[in-house]
């Protein structure tokens, strides 16, 4: 969208002119999380917009959310990193409303009625859009949501889904894919859909019950927590294959996860509300690269709806440059016999998979920025091209063959 670039440029100018903006959105030096959240006051039942500090366990109250009487679950919070705004779905009496809150002041700038049932509201800073899954009876759709007007725009129907799994909604910002775990009959699948077209680009069995799935800009990867027997493990999730492998076992914690309470900082640390070794409620911070527990602070507040105010393209607050997506150019489109590929960096492995995740081509070569693939034997259709560098950076895009 053309307005997105204008908004981002304006914010960069304001940040340069007014250093106070950096103070209003502090980023901890050690990279541990400081998620925004919503807290229900136990005495008054008022809902507060708050911020937490994973390093200390401290909660800072910012402002009451006027009129909000209940929190609507289903991973229905998001953070607009362009405008520094927090979104949350709540109830005002019997009416479902979508609140947009200025992060620095706590002022509610939008408060609109949303009659639809939505799950997994997620903000994508690349196109400045809110995405979600809408449920109507037995029908599931990928949609966008306008925060100011509550207008919902369908992208595509999502067939074959009988239920969605909570704590699994996330945007893979490297690929521009909306990902979630679904129930389809008796089985679970990890599915990914292209945000622009709604096309399914991956669908793989996902039997293990991972929770708190989040995207890390620093790693360009998905992570989740897995209660495997008596241990609590940090898992790195591979979307094209549906597999996951263990980064490490969490030490000094009791397995358990409080719903709607996980986020990832720009520095690559995972924050969640769970239980410490003494089975006390705790705010826990994990290093995603090692699964080492950086902090475990006992906390009695019930804040949830964790959202970090970060975007993978934004390195202004941390000075850490995330591993951005590998840029891929391909032509012609659609291709019939030969597909020519150009990359911004040398690539050593290329794969082509069907929209359901079945790999139909894999080719290794000395690292090069220019490739030529013979695709005449492949049936016409939509495919997913994946490219990999030697050190692990990768990129994906949807391609068409005829």
Could you give the CA distance from residue 156 to residue 180 in angstroms, rounded to a whole number?
15
Residue 4 above 50 pLDDT?
no
- DSSP H or E run through 387: strand 381-388
Structure tokens given for 317: 């607050």
Q: Which residues contact 375 (CB under 8 A, 6 or more apart)?
A: 335, 336, 337, 338, 339, 352, 361, 401
CATH class of 2-307: mainly beta
**pLDDT at residue 25, rounded to an integer:** 35
CB 181 within 8 A of CB 170: no
Residue 162 above 50 pLDDT?
yes
Taking residues 138-146, report their average pLDDT. 97
Residue 5 above 80 pLDDT?
no
**pLDDT at residue 324, rounded to an integer:** 55
Q: Report the alpha-carbon angle 265-326-380, nearest 5.
A: 120
The length of the chain is 402
**pLDDT at residue 105, rounded to an integer:** 96
- 127-139 CB burial, b ≥16 within 10 A, e <16: ebbbbbbbbeeee
- Could you tell me what percentage of the chain is helix, strand and coil, using 3-state DSSP and rounding each to the nearest 5? 5, 55, 40
CB 91 within 8 A of CB 47: no
- Global pTM exceeds 0.85: no
Summarised one tens digit per residue, pLDDT across range 312-357 is 754 333 333 344 567 888 999 999 999 999 988 888 888 898 877 7
- Gyration radius from the chain CA atoms: 21
Residue 15, φ and ψ in degrees, nearest 5? -65, -35
Taking residues 19-33, report their average pLDDT. 44
Could you give the CA distance from residue 273 to residue 283 in angstroms, rounded to a whole number?
5
Q: Residue 331 to residues 14, 194, 318: CA-CA distances in angstroms?
A: 40, 19, 37
**pLDDT at residue 217, rounded to an integer:** 81
**pLDDT at residue 390, rounded to an integer:** 58
Summarised one tens digit per residue, pLDDT across range 69-101 is 999 999 999 999 989 999 999 999 999 999 999
Peptide bond into 25 cis (omega under 30): no
Confidence of residue 225 (pLDDT cuts 50, 70, 90): very high
Confidence of residue 173 (pLDDT cuts 50, 70, 90): confident
**Where are the domains positioned within the chain?**
2-307, 328-401
Could you give the CA distance from residue 252 to residue 255 in angstroms, rounded to a whole number?
10
Residue 392 above 80 pLDDT?
no
* CATH number, span 328-401: 2.60.40.1930
**pLDDT at residue 323, rounded to an integer:** 47
């Amino acid at each position: 969208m053309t307005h997105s670039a204008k908004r981002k440029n304006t914010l960069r100018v304001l940040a340069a002119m007014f250093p106070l903006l950096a103070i209003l959105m502090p980023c901890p030096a050690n990279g541990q999380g400081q998620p925004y959240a919503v807290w229900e006051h136990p005495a008054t039942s008022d809902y507060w917009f708050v911020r937490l500090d994973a390093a200390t366990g401290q909660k800072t109250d910012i402002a009451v959310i006027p009129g909000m009487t209940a929190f609507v679950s289903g991973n229905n919070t998001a953070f607009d990193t362009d405008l520094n705004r927090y979104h949350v779905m709540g109830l005002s009496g019997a009416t479902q409303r979508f609140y947009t809150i200025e992060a620095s002041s706590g002022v509610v700038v939008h408060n609109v009625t949303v009659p639809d049932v939505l799950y997994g509201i997620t903000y994508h800073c690349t196109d400045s859009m809110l995405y979600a899954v809408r449920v109507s009876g037995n029908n599931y759709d990928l949609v966008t949501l306008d925060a100011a007007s509550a207008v919902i725009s369908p992208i595509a129907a999502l067939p074959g889904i009988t239920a969605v799994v909570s704590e699994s909604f996330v945007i893979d910002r490297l690929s521009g894919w909306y990902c979630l775990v679904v129930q389809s009959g008796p089985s679970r699948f990890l599915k990914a859909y292209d945000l622009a077209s709604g096309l399914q680009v991956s669908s793989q069995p996902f039997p293990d019950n991972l929770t708190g799935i989040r995207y890390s800009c620093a790693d360009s990867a998905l992570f989740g927590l897995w209660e495997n027997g008596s241990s609590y493990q940090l898992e790195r999730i591979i979307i094209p294959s549906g597999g996951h492998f263990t980064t490490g076992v969490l030490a000094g914690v009791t397995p358990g996860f409080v719903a709607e309470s996980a986020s990832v900082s720009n520095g690559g640390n995972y924050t969640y509300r769970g239980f410490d070794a003494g089975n006390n409620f705790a705010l826990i911070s994990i290093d995603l690269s090692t699964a080492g527990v950086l902090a475990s602070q006992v906390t009695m507040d019930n804040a949830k709806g964790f959202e970090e105010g970060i975007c993978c393209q934004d390195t202004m607050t941390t000075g850490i440059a995330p591993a951005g997506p590998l840029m891929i150019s391909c032509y012609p489109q659609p291709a019939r016999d030969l597909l020519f590929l150009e990359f911004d960096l040398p690539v050593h492995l290329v794969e082509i998979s069907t929209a359901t995740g079945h790999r139909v081509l894999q080719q290794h070569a000395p690292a090069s920025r220019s490739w030529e693939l013979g695709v005449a034997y492949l049936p016409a259709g939509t495919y997913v091209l994946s490219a990999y560098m030697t050190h692990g950076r990768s990129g994906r895009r949807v391609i068409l063959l005829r």
